Amino acid sequence: MITFQQSRRQFLGQSSCAAISSIPVLNTLLNLSVTEKLSAVTAPANGEYRALVCLFLSGGNDSFNMLVPREASAYAQYQSTRSNLALAPGSLIDIHPTGQPTFAVHSGMPEVASLFEAGNAAFVANVGTLIEPVQNRTQVNTLAKQLPLGLFSHSDQIEQWQTSLPHQRSGIGWAGRTADLLQELNANQKVPMNISLDGSNVWQTGNDVAEYAITTGGAVALQNYKFGWQQYDTGSQAFSQGVDSQLALQYSNVLMQTFNTRKKSALDAYDAFTTATSAALPGGVTFPSTYVGSRLQMIAKAIQGHALASLGAVRQTFFINWGGWDHHSGVLTYQSQMLPQVSAAIGAFYSALTAMGMANNVTLFTASDFGRTLTSNGQGSDHAWGGNQLVVGGRVLGQKIYGQYPSLALNPESGAEVNPLDTGSGRLIPTTSCDQFFAELALWLGVSPTDLPLVLPNIGNFYSPGSSAPPLGFMA
């Protein structure tokens, strides 16, 4: 039996945190707020700030047209497999990974190509949800390996990318579990560590924390409420005084008192966040007026104001969700419109971080429901499994493709496997798990190796948290 008197180190040593059977125990401990902290949180040296930005492309981005092989035989295989979905050389921008064959990105992503060539961006190839390593189509067809729930389902795979729990359905995300451990590093608790530009999400929901939802205009206030005396606005003044009077009351009814406390906390958070983000960004950087551009601009303002007393943040996460990537038809047309928006916004964001001297303190990564079929359905591509993701930041060991970029050859419907990873129609088994991808980011953000299984319970199936080697190696 596990007692609360055990140390965290004893517990982790005695229980196989990577084993699926231990997960209910871990969830119970995290839910219970035990008196002995599960994480021995140590303040960062010199108050060093770090932030993760998740750009979720919901719908399932066709990422094998975002990152394309350019070595002659590999490109010929890409053209053959993708048929009418293949991009011609004129629709590509070549990139030159260090010590690896030449690849290319979509021609609408020149900013990403430049960041990659400068060593400030990297790709993680063929990453996806996995419970345990899966090597070939036979293991999938015979159910010899445990497979993620609802594979190829939007709702299930979006959830699993945000929870990293592909064996079960959960409303607790891995950024939420991270914040449960790290939130106390922030001196001011008025504004939560996790900030969302797109409302509620699973990724930032923890056992003890939730996301703080803002808009591209900043924090959302109680309508007509004003801080301080409003000399020439008697209506707002009367309303605000009424709200203040309510907030000053103590209610015997628990529900009413809880609501009152939450309302006061929301007003305090609004005031703190608005103060911290009121300054203009450095000149010389123009953010595009697009869905992603306006959100990254607001995130840049929050990052700029992180150290002010009103926020007092040394660790933060930010979440953007941009939908519309379910391209069963018109994939070439839609990607030619959408990928340039992603690239331009990321380019402006990195330029702003550089101007603020914060490029080394922020890491942006992309995520999506799943990859898409390599084969064409005639007009587009369908739901698949493994896909390619982008990571950008000054601490990214860039100009490299991490993981294993797979063969794009297709298996015949029967007979010997030409490509063990093809489960049919170019639905590729991931060669890198989400756990490995997320572990690299969580460790960089400040989760200790011994606490990593608390954030990513299945990580032991892919990586030993006690290893001297990193999970993938893309973060410095």
Q: Which of 112-121, 218-227, 235-244, 272-281 has the highest mean pLDDT?
A: 112-121
Answer whether 182's CB lies under 8 Å from 304's CB: no
**Phi–psi pair at 30, nearest 5 degrees:** -70, -35
pLDDT at 473: 98
pLDDT band at 16 (very low <50, low <70, confident <90, very high): very low
| Token code pair at residue 312 | 């007092």
Cα–Cα distance, 431 to 371 (Å, whole number): 13
Specify the pTM.
0.86
Q: Could you report the per-residue pLDDT of 136-168, keeping only the tens digit for each? A: 999 999 999 999 999 999 999 999 999 999 999
Q: What is the predicted pLDDT for the residue at 46?
A: 74
43-90: pLDDT as tens digits = 677 789 999 999 999 999 999 999 999 999 999 999 999 999 999 999
- In what order do the strands lie in the sheet containing 103-106? 67-69, 103-106, 92-95
What's the rounded Cα separation, in Å, for the pair 331 and 82?
12
CATH number of 19-218+277-461: 3.40.720
Over 90: is that where the pLDDT of 455 sits?
yes
Strand partners, 364: 53, 392
CB 314 within 8 Å of CB 185 = yes
> What share of residues in the chain are helix, strand, coil (percent, to 5)?
40, 15, 50
pLDDT tier for residue 239 given thresholds of 50, 70 and 90: very low
Which alpha helices (DSSP H) does 398-460 contain, by range?
434-445, 452-455
* Phi, psi of 59, deg, nearest 5: 120, -25
- pLDDT score of 449: 96
- According to the model, what pLDDT value does residue 265 have? 64
The pLDDT tens digits for 251-294 are 455 554 444 445 556 778 888 999 999 999 999 999 999 999 99
**CA dist., res. 404 & res. 372, Å (int):** 17
